[in-house]
Structure formats: C-alpha cells, structure tokens
Amino acid sequence: MVFTGDKDCFGCQSRFQERWCSVAQLERLAEEGCSYCSLLHKGLHELDPDIKERLGHDAQIRFKRSPDEMHVYNDPNGSLGHRPDLEAVDLQFEYYSESDKRNYYQPTGDTSSDISYGRAYWWVDNCTKQHKLCGAGEPTQLPTRIIDLGVKDAKEPLTRVWLREPPRDLKARYAALSHCWGGDIPLKTTTATFDQHTAGIEFSQLPQTFQDAANIVRRLGVRYLWIDSLCIIQDSTEDWQVEASRMASVYRNSWLTVSASSSPSSSSGCYRRGQAVNVEAAAPDEDDPLAVLFPAATKLRKDLRLNLRFKFLHPSFGHERFPDSEANKPFPLLNRAWAYQERFLAPRVLHFGTQEVFWECMQDLICECGAANWANGKNMGGYMNRDTSGDLPPKISHCAAMYVGKSKEQALDAKKESKLLERWAEMVGEYTERELTYPMDRLPAISGLAGEMAEALRMKYCAGLWEETLPLGLLWQRANVFADPGPRSQPPIAPSWSWAAINGPVKILVPLKGPRRNPEFTETYAKVEEVCCIPVGKDERGQVCTEKSHITLSAELVEVPLGLPGSGRRSWFPIKKAIAKGAKPERGSLAVKNGDGEVVRFDPDYQLCDNSGVWHWGEDEILYLAKIAKSSGDYYWLALRRAEEESTYERVGVIENSDAQWESDGVQRQLRIR
C-alpha cells in the first residue's frame, strides 16, 4: 500500500505529544489517506478485529507522548487519565524498515517460537564467548544427582529420562531449573521412589514445567538438567540439609538456569503464547510524514513495516528509577525468596515471561522486544569501580561488587569493603521483600549468597549478620514501620538479634563498617564481647539453633516505661492502663518516654498486642534500651526485654532519635542477647 502525505492529519503532525481520538476518527483519517493513521488502523484491526464491536464505535484512543504506545478505552467522553472502571487495551508498536538490523528478531508473543529460541541461542553464544565475568561455561563436575535427558537428537521427542548419581570424575555441562512449586508437586524423589526414578521416568509423567525445561535445554544442546524436587530426596531431612548446603554451587556452576518466571506452579509450563501482527507499507516519499520517522528508509527507498502487539509486560528487576510495585505480579517466581539467590548465583539465566523471553547474565539484561535492555558487556570494566547503587540492574550491580571483592590483583581495601557491605544491605532489603512458604527457610534460602559474600568480605557470618560489623549490624528495622508488624514466628526461626527472626521486609539503618573502614559521622558506644552462632545442620550459614546462639555486649542500659502514644509530644497512655482498658496500639506502634517527659515513637519488631487485643507484654514489664551508636546526628538504642535467665535479654526493636535523651540515666552492663 502506498501512502501519500497530502492529507496527513493534524494529530499525526503532533504525534510526539499526548493526544486523544476515537476509533471512528482513526478509521476516517485512514480512509482519507493519512499514512500514519492507515498503518495504525490496519494494525489495530488485524490484531484485535472485534475491538470496535467490543468497546464501541466511540471508544477513545489515547496516544502517549512517545509515538510507539497507545491505550484504547471504552470511554466516549475521552476522559483525560486512567479510570479503573474502564476497560482498557494497551497496545505497543514499533516501526522498522528492511534495513533496520536492530529489529531482525521481532518478538511474536509466543515464547516457544523458533524466533525466541534463536534469540536465546544468540544470547548464550555471545555470553560464553564474550563475557569475562560469566565465563565460557566449560564442563564441570556434576551435582550429586542429575536428570539425564539422554543422547537422542533434539528433534526427536523425549519419551524417558533418568535420575543419575554421576561419578565424581565425570564433567559435563548441565542446566538448572528455577521454578515455583505451587503447592505439592505431583512427581518428586523420595526414599520410596528413588529406585524407580533411577530406572527411568516416563517423560509424560513429568509436570509440564519440567517437560518444557527439558525440551528447552535439549534444543540448546545440553544433556543434563538439575531440578530440586527430583534431585533432592524430599522426605530425608539429612539429604535435604546436605544438598541445601550445596545448592549455591549447583546454580553457580550451571551452564544455564532456565527460569519459569511467569509460571505459578510445576503444572503451568514455561511457555506462554501471545499475539503480534506485522503491517507492511511501501517506502515513504520525501513529503510523507513517515519520512520524519524514517529518513534513512526514505533516502534508500526501503519498505516500512509496523509491528503491532499488545503491550508486553516487563518485570521490575529493581533498578528502575520509579519501580512499579505491581510489575512482578505476572511473574510469580521473581517474588519467591529461594529464586532470588538462584537468579543471582547462576552465571546465565533465561527467563520465560508472559510474552517474551528475557536474558539475564552477569553483564547483560536483555528482553526480546528491546524495552528492558541493559547490554553493557563490552563496557564492564568501565563500571566495575564506580558507585553502582541504584543505577544498575541488581544482578549486574551484585556481580560488579563481587568482582571487586574477589579481585586477586588487589587487596580488599576500605573502599571495596564498603561497596560489598553496601551491596549486602541492598540484598537484605531485596531478599526480605520476597515470599517463603516455610518461615524456617529464612536463612537457608540466602545461605548461598552469604557464602559468596563471606568469601569476598573475609568476614565471619552469623545468622544474617557479619561479626566484624557488630554492633552496628544489630541496627536493622522493619522496612514499613507504618504497617502492622505481625506476630513473631513460633517457634522462633532465628535469634531475636537477627533480622531473620521476623517475617517481612527489613532495612539496614546505618552504614555497616568493617575492620578496614570507619564511616564518617558514626560513633559506636557498645562493645561486642562474644558472638556464638550454632548451625542446626551441615550448612554453616543456614538455619541456626536459637536456644544456643547469642551475642554478649557491654553497653549502657536504661530502663524506660512503655505505653501507647497520644496526640501530642507529651501525650501518653501507660501500658498498665492500656492493658486494663483493653486498648490496642494502632498498627502496632508504641511509645516510650525520655527523661524530659517527651514521648518517643517505638515500632517493635513483632506484635506486642495481637489483633484480638491480647497483650504479649506484662503490665509491669520493663523495656530496656541499650545505647549502640550515633550516626549522622541520630542516636540508636536497641530495645530489649528481659528473658528468664539472669542478665539475658531478647530484642524487640530499635529506637532512633536525634537526642541522647537517656544518656545520664544509663548504667554500663554486660548483656547476653539471645
């Protein structure tokens, strides 16, 4: 179809601005010969032929400020802005010419397509050949157990796979699967099924996600696949502890990790199938408005194509300036805590999303459609030694920090140590935002990353903290203090002084300092006398014994009354009266009084009064404050309650304030915190 430009509409002349028109207007302008509107109209109706009947002839099209995105609403009045009661169709399109090699691979919306596989193969090939950090993916020692997909040609359908315990001297490339269990998996290895699985598993018995993963890695030329539910004996606590301690090396040594990012369960499969259409147009004349978009195509007389699709959903990888808190809902795996460390430890991750595949390695973050690209592999050295906070995708930021920490050419100086500790604080925040099925996994699910960080920091790890950063490492808090804290896990999942003891997001309050660095504007008042952290199983950075793990401090200790805050600075409701009257704290927030009678807000780590109004705090119980540090003008006190044993306490929170407040009332004591 050849378009002339003499009837180009005013709206198209201002297409880089936000504007509105109806579906009927678009149709009329296309009939009148507007080249831009003709492309849009044809593409819109090929992609969604029933849109006019479904949304109405007067449905409004809203073009965003960029010329490659539009929204269609069933709103005849053309209201400016989103309204949740309106049905909306988000469409995204891109223009390209025959000579535009950037768009050689046009995403189809079908993640099982040959086009998606072509992209995946190119990403793997480029990464293994060009990326220094990611490595070439040479054959390596296989995990304790592995799924053998056989030696058949990838074009032949799989009929049977085998659970193997390979000899220690066998080296090969293998892939790993990262996936959501989604409840009980219909097929897993137990002591009863172990022999059956080594004899062979009918391929049709595998859950759909496992089948898809097996076919994916076979097409990429890999024979072996590691799947947690099949390669760990699920009803053996001993085997789980041993293999959980090795999980970091499983993902770190994998040639590729297949991430079923949009799949909520093992039965949902990896693939998703969407829709896209291509609309062709002849090369524009020099006076055609499309020539503004494609001067090169106009000059070379190249035909144009419009690729139109429903707007692709992109997850929030955490580096966006304004991250969308809802973005990861269609990608349930990215909200899982176990998958967090799997993604960071693996050198290469192939994400299967809702409409396209994503590539995430130590140097690149790329999607098929091009909207989420961060392909800086060739410039890696340029940002290895600069501040990486907030401007790099988390995996790249993490790998940049780890690269600096593990560099054998240079000693770990104060700057590098600071970068690593800053990265750890970021990781704690990112990790604790994610979900766990079993609270007891709070420490095991990050133990692999902790081991990697311990190697780089040359520090001793203790239940989520670093011994050399204490007592500052004790100054963490719930990330959202305005939300109800929820009850404390019973039985306790970690010592009270560890952020792993509570559920939900956590933030580190002050910059951590190690033996090589003393942060400016930070004074430390408490002294660490002893740190005792006893692991439960064979993973020394996994679950710990809460009864035997403790920290002993020498610190100034103050006794303060606890109560409910009122409306003014000195308004106060003593805890004894609150309990007697059945009063409850709003969103869990409490308060303490300083020596001047002023009320200071206190947000405990967990509920001291549950939702039914039952208090878990005695009416005569005393709150103890241990003076820990001063940072950037603020004083930090560890809030404690007395345990049954003499001189033993449990943490209940942190209080931060700009005044010393209780300094003159404190007594130096030795405190054992469990």
The more confident residue out of 60 and 238 is: 238
Residue 558 phi/psi, 5° resolution?
A: -125, 140
Please tell me the least confidently modeled range out of 48-62, 280-294, 608-622.
280-294
Q: What is the pLDDT of residues 229-254, one digit of tens each?
A: 999 999 999 999 899 889 899 999 99
Query: What is the rounded distance in angstroms from the CA atom of residue 433 to the CA atom of residue 445?
Result: 13
- Best-predicted range by mean pLDDT (149-163, 214-228, 311-325): 214-228
pLDDT tens digits, one per residue of 337-384: 999 999 999 999 999 999 889 999 998 898 887 777 776 543 333 333
Q: Give the pLDDT score at 77.
A: 53
pLDDT confidence bin for 307, thresholds 50/70/90: low
Query: What is the C-alpha R_g of the chain?
Result: 29
Split at pLDDT 50, 70, 90, the class of 1 is: very low
DSSP type of residue 51:
H
635 residue type, one letter? Y
Return d(Cα 73, Cα 87) in angstroms, integer. 6
More confidently predicted of 590 and 395: 590
Residues 387, 393, 395, 399: is their CA dihedral positive or negative? negative
Supply the pLDDT for residue 407. 54
Buried b (16+ CB within 10 A) or exposed e, 563-591: bbbeeeeeebbebeebbeeebbbeebbbb
* Predicted confidence (pLDDT) at residue 422 exceeds the cutoff of 80: yes
* pLDDT at residue 202, rounded to an integer: 97
597 has a pLDDT exceeding 60 = yes
DSSP result, 357-418: EEEEESSEEEETTSTT-EE-GGGHHHHSSS--TTTS-HHHHHHHHHHHHH-SSS---HHHHH
Higher per-residue confidence, 606 vs 279: 606
Q: Which two tokens stand for residue 295?
A: 């001067």
Lowest mean pLDDT among 293-297, 327-331, 415-419: 293-297
- 587-615 average pLDDT score: 87
Looking at residue 518, what is its pLDDT?
A: 60
pLDDT in tens, 542-551: 999 999 999 9
Query: Quick one: pLDDT at residue 594?
Result: 76
Mean pLDDT of the chain: 82
Interval 461-506: pLDDT, tens = 999 999 999 999 999 999 998 888 989 888 999 999 999 999 999 9
For a pLDDT cut of 70, what percent of the chain falls above it?
77
Given a cut of 50, whether residue 419 has pLDDT beyond it is yes
Give the closest residue to 2 by CA, choosing from 303, 277, 293, 292.
303
Residue 82 pLDDT grade (very low, low, confident, very high; cuts 50, 70, 90): very low
Q: How confident is the model at residue 147 (pLDDT cuts 50, 70, 90)?
A: very high
Residue closest to 227 by CA, chosen among 268, 271, 259, 199: 259
How many CB atoms neighbour CB 133 within 10 A? 17
Beta strand ranges found along 284-346 (DSSP E)? 304-310
Q: Which of 206-210, 228-232, 536-540, 605-609 has the lowest mean pLDDT?
A: 536-540
Residue 439, pLDDT score: 93
- Determine the pLDDT at residue 215: 96
When pLDDT is averaged across residues 14-32 and rounded to a whole number, the result is: 75
Give pLDDT, residue 291.
53
Asked if residue 293 has pLDDT above 80, the reply is no
Which pLDDT belongs to residue 442? 96
Higher pLDDT, 615 or 278: 615
Task: Determine the pLDDT at residue 433.
Answer: 93
Which residue, chain included where needed, has tokens 């780590």?
Answer: 605
Above 80 in pLDDT, residue 312? no
Angle between helices 337-345 and 394-406 (to 10 degrees): 50
Tens digits of residue pLDDT in 153-185: 878 899 999 999 999 999 999 999 999 999 888
Question: How confident is the model over 39-50, as a mean pLDDT?
Answer: 77
What pLDDT is stored for residue 111 in this prediction?
A: 93
pLDDT at 534: 96
Could you tell me the pTM of the whole model? Answer: 0.85
What value does the mean pLDDT take over residues 563-570?
A: 76
Which segments of 533-643 are extended strands (E)? 550-560, 562-565, 572-574, 590-593, 599-602, 623-631, 634-642
Rounded Cα gap, residues 660 and 664, in angstroms: 9
Give the lowest-confidence range in 188-202, 357-371, 446-460, 617-631: 357-371
Pairing of strands 160-164, 201-202: antiparallel
